[in-house]
């Protein structure tokens, strides 16, 4: 069994390298993916500015929220790649080879995690440049980064599963639109208190809000204050939500992949 696991990891790494080789051939796409959230950050930082009901420095409030948003965005690249692979013969070759079943999807996820980590690094750098400062220690800083990547991990598995369900590249756009409400119906830009009651409650329970609140706390930045259970247990939710979502969508995606043989 342990050799099976070792091969599964080796195969996944081979598939990750395949993705990295794609990017080496298409560097422009990768750069665009990194620049888009930076653009959003600058837009909200300078255009919208402190008009969102936040006390204290808006940039210190905004940047952690934007980091969380960055982790939710850009899934369309992953989804497109999955559907395009399925439409071509190359997945048939993978499936007719003695490699681990899950490696095609796991390798894809690992490659996209590397890209997400790079994106996070860029956003942290730009945030720093526009005046964002953290006030926690190095350990809490790393903890915040880990929570962000954990959230990304869960989002990627949702994306991969939805791409397997959608099946065709044309369907991806429709699914992609769903990411926007998740991103904006959150506390990334504004506090739930500035919203109507029902919306504020939905926003507080949004997994992305939990991650944003938890990392604001860890970075020592102005956080969203709330009295609801969700708002006061944000760190717990920031760990539990992604774990629950991954536990649901990872097996679903792998099962979908196996069921290609029906």
Beta strands in the chain (DSSP E): none
Cα 257 to Cα 105: distance, rounded to the nearest angstrom: 8
Alpha helices in 138-196 (DSSP H): 138-166, 169-177, 179-184
If the CB atoms of residues 84 and 235 are measured against another protein, the closer one turns out to be: 84
CA 190, 115, 237: angle at the middle one, nearest 5?
45
- Interface with another protein includes 5 (CB under 8 A)? no
If the CB atoms of residues 21 and 199 are measured against another protein, the closer one turns out to be: 21
Cα 136 to Cα 113: distance, rounded to the nearest angstrom: 25
Cα 259 to Cα 201: distance, rounded to the nearest angstrom: 38
- Interface with another protein includes 97 (CB under 8 A)? yes
Q: Which stretch binds another protein (CB under 8 A): 65-73, 86-94, 108-116, 178-186?
A: 86-94
Cα 37 to Cα 28: distance, rounded to the nearest angstrom: 15
Assign 137 to helix, strand or coil.
coil
If the CB atoms of residues 93 and 133 are measured against another protein, the closer one turns out to be: 93
DSSP 16: H
Cα 165 to Cα 253: distance, rounded to the nearest angstrom: 8
By residue count, the chain amounts to 262
Q: 135 is written with which tokens?
A: 């006030």
Q: Which of 32, 39, 90, 118 binds another protein (CB under 8 A)?
A: 90
C-beta of residue 75 within 8 angstroms of C-beta of residue 176: yes
Cα 186 to Cα 208: distance, rounded to the nearest angstrom: 6
- Interface with another protein includes 197 (CB under 8 A)? no
Q: Which stretch binds another protein (CB under 8 A): 22-30, 114-122, 166-174, 242-250?
A: 22-30
- Interface with another protein includes 233 (CB under 8 A)? no
- Interface with another protein includes 255 (CB under 8 A)? no
Round to the nearest angstrom and report the end-to-end CA distance of the chain.
26
Q: Which stretch binds another protein (CB under 8 A): 11-19, 109-117, 145-153, 159-167?
A: 11-19
Under rule CB under 8 A, which residues in 129-158 are in contact with another protein? none
Q: Which of 80, 95, 202, 233 binds another protein (CB under 8 A)?
A: 95
Q: Which of 1, 27, 28, 96 binds another protein (CB under 8 A)?
A: 96
Q: Which of 59, 63, 86, 99 binds another protein (CB under 8 A)?
A: 99
If the CB atoms of residues 99 and 190 are measured against another protein, the closer one turns out to be: 99
- Interface with another protein includes 89 (CB under 8 A)? yes
**Least CB distance to another protein at residue 80 (A):** 13
Residues of the shown chain interacting with another protein in the complex, contacts defined by CB under 8 A: 7, 10-11, 14, 17-18, 21-22, 25-26, 88-90, 92-99, 103, 260-262
């Amino acid at each position: 069994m342990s050799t099976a696991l070792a091969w599964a990891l080796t195969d996944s790494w081979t598939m990750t390298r395949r993705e990295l080789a794609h990017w080496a051939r298409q560097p422009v796409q990768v750069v665009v993916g990194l620049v888009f959230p930076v653009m959003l950050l600058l837009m909200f930082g300078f255009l919208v500015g402190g008009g969102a009901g936040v006390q204290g420095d808006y940039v210190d409030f905004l940047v952690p929220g934007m980091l969380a948003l960055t982790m939710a965005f850009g899934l369309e690249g992953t989804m497109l790649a999955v559907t395009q692979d399925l439409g071509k013969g190359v997945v048939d070759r993978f499936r007719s080879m003695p490699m681990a079943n899950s490696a095609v999807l796991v390798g894809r996820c690992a490659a996209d995690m590397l890209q997400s980590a790079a994106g996070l690094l860029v956003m942290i750098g730009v945030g720093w440049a526009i005046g964002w400062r953290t006030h926690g220690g190095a350990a809490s800083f790393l903890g915040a980064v880990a929570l962000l990547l954990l959230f990304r991990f869960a989002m990627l598995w949702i994306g991969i599963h939805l791409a397997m369900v959608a099946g065709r590249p044309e369907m991806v756009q429709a699914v992609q639109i769903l990411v926007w409400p998740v991103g904006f119906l959150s506390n990334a830009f504004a506090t739930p208190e500035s919203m109507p009651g029902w919306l504020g409650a939905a926003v507080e329970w949004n997994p992305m809000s939990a991650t944003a609140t938890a990392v604001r706390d860890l970075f020592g930045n102005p956080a969203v204050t709330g009295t609801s259970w969700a708002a006061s247990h944000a760190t717990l939710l920031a760990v539990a939500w992604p774990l629950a979502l991954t536990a649901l969508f990872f097996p679903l995606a792998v099962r979908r992949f196996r069921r290609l043989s029906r």
